Amino acid sequence: MAQVRPEGLSAALSRAVPAIGWIHGDEPLLVQEAAGLFRAAARRAGADERQVFEVDRSFKAERFAAEAGALSLFASGRLLELHFSGKPGKEYGELIAITAEQADASLRLLVLSGRLDRSTTETGWFGRIDRAGLVVPVFPVERRELPRWIAGRLARQKQRADAATLELIAERVEGNLLAAHQEVSKLGLLFPEGEIPAAEARAAVLSVARYDAFDLVEAMLAGDRERSLRSLEGLRAEGEAPPLLVWAIGDAIRTLMRLHAARDQGLALAQAMRSARIFGPRERLFEAAMRRVSAADCEQALRSTALADRIFKGVAAGDSWLTLERIVMRMAGVPLPGDN
């Protein structure tokens, strides 16, 4: 039939359920979701009986062949699954190809494996499988695409979140789609359909930590120097990921810079905040910070944030945590000489 990406699998299966589906990739969540779609389609096609074979050292090809050729006494159709723990070889590949080609209308095959390289996908036996069914390659979600992927998952729950919240979730899960799925599911349980309140959503995402980045930012914007320093020290002691802190602090500074720019252009601060999607208690925080921190201070702090990021990544010299401390103290209202 054809190769299809996971996002097109549901539509392809609605047209026809092939004799075989082979899903391969290294993203467990996406592989399992695609497998779930194939299983559901097979059940709708009459495959009420399911049997799973783990292809490992104990796997017996003869037993699988016998099961594939047997008739079910209890169901109108059957689904046989093969789960590969390693790379499929020619012997098993030929077996699967023959089984798919000779399968009657009551039998469906589903094969799950890790990512297949060209040495496998360009073999003759794999080409026969490709022609007999659907091959679903599952590719990793790139980091830059992760916020959009999370937004799509929220949309399935009829929910929306602002860009900062999406980026926060992406930072927290560090590319782990299973973790991202859990965070999205949690938001689905905590909030109704529609726009998720930004502050509450971020608090929910960060609720597992005693200290969190947004508590630090809140204290910094409020000008609470002692709480800011205590939060920063607590985050360091708990082993918080530095990139998250750099992002959270930098995001607040960039928002302040946008508010300064809007006010300089004659826009009322309340209107500028609405445009920046700042509502509720956050309005008072940013109002206080605007009175205390100038646009020039923000520019200098943002340069220091970029320096801290380079230090954390090992491409610049210095003490990254000390640099962050100086940024937080300056934004909280403590002018420090020699800031970078």
| Domain 2-138 in CATH 3.30.200.20 | no
Reported as type and span, the H/E element at residue 12 is helix 6-15
The Cα–Cα gap between 111 and 31 comes to 11
Confidence at residue 75, expressed as pLDDT on a 0 to 100 scale: 57
User: The domain 145-331 is classified under which CATH number: 3.10.50.40, 3.40.190.290, 1.20.272.10, 3.30.460.80?
Assistant: 1.20.272.10
The Cα–Cα gap between 108 and 329 comes to 64
- Pull the structure tokens for residue 92: 């098993």
Three-state SS string over 92-153 comes to HHHHHHHHHHHCCCCEEEEEEECCCCHHHHCCHHHHHHHHHCEEEEECCCCHHHHHHHHHHH
Helices (H) and strands (E) in the chain, counts: 17, 8
- Kindly report the backbone phi and psi dihedral angles of residue 11, in degrees, each rounded to the nearest multiple of 5, phi listed first: -65, -40
Per-residue pLDDT of the chain (340 residues; tens, 9 = 90+): 578 999 999 999 999 999 999 999 988 889 999 999 999 999 999 998 899 999 888 888 888 988 888 765 555 789 999 999 778 889 999 999 999 998 888 899 999 998 898 889 999 999 999 999 999 999 888 888 999 999 999 999 999 999 989 988 887 776 678 878 888 988 998 899 999 998 888 888 765 445 677 778 888 998 988 888 888 888 887 777 777 888 889 989 999 999 999 988 888 888 888 877 787 677 888 988 998 899 999 999 999 999 988 888 888 888 888 889 999 998 988 765 544 4
Count of Cβ atoms closer than 10 Å to residue 62 Cβ:
8
Confidence at residue 339, expressed as pLDDT on a 0 to 100 scale: 47
- Is residue 136 within 8 Å of residue 22, measured between CB atoms? yes
- Pull the structure tokens for residue 215: 């508590």
Domain extent listing, the chain:
2-138, 145-331
